[in-house]
Amino acid sequence: MRRPWSSKRARSTEQPIELRLPSCLGYEKVAMDTAAVIAERMGFGPDRVAGLRTAVSEAVTNAIEHGNQGVRNAEVHVVMAIQDDTLIICVRDQNYHQFDRSYGIQRPDLQRALRGEDVGWGMWLIRQFVDEVEFTGVPNGGNEVRMVLRA
């Protein structure tokens, strides 16, 4: 049986999927599930899909909690695009607080985290589960996390 999106031509011409999510915890599941369905249809295995779910959840949760600081009328914008055998996911907040790009470079300290003193776990986890990640500021305001998963 032929899988959907099985030809490179079909994959590269698919329209991006865009989600505008309320800045409210729980909506990260919508982005996680959408990314998982796309990755499964592209032929990624269960371990890669599970890792992608974690990365997307962390990116959206960070956008809600840190970027938008829980402001309810703010949005988190998620764009998922397929280019050949590559899935690209961008998560953008509205920049109520710009993140520190130095977090996530080194493994966070578990003991400090248990005491509530350490941050950066989300960005570190994202780096573990995708092939490429880029954290940038957006010219008109906002933070963007660009994640790449290659077949």
Where does the pLDDT of residue 6 fall: very low under 50, low under 70, confident under 90, or very high at 90 and above?
A: very low
Domain assignment present for residue 141? The answer is: yes
Predicted pLDDT of residue 95:
77
Sheet holding 143-150, edge to edge: 17-22, 75-83, 86-92, 143-150, 132-137
Task: Give the separation between CA 34 and CA 72, rounded to whole angstroms.
Answer: 22
Bigger pLDDT: 125 vs 47: 47
Domain containing residue 134: CATH number? 3.30.565.10
pLDDT (tens digit per residue) in 62-118: 999 888 987 889 999 999 999 999 999 999 999 755 556 555 556 666 777 677 766
> Residue 39 contacts by C-beta under 8 Å, 6 or more apart in sequence?
48, 49, 52, 87, 149
Cα separations in angstroms, 22 against 18, 28, 38, 58, 88: 13, 9, 21, 16, 21
How many other β-carbons are positioned within 10 Å of the β-carbon of residue 35? 26
C-alpha torsion sign, points 28, 33, 36, 42 = negative
- Please give the structure tokens belonging to residue 100: 């520190």
Domain count, the chain: 1
Q: What value does the mean pLDDT of the chain take?
A: 84
Domain assignment present for residue 2? The answer is: no
Give the structural domain span for 57. 8-150
**DSSP state letter for 24:** S
Bigger pLDDT: 91 vs 14: 91
Where does the pLDDT of residue 58 fall: very low under 50, low under 70, confident under 90, or very high at 90 and above?
A: very high
Domain assignment present for residue 97? The answer is: yes
Beta bridge partners of 17: 80
pTM of structure: 0.82
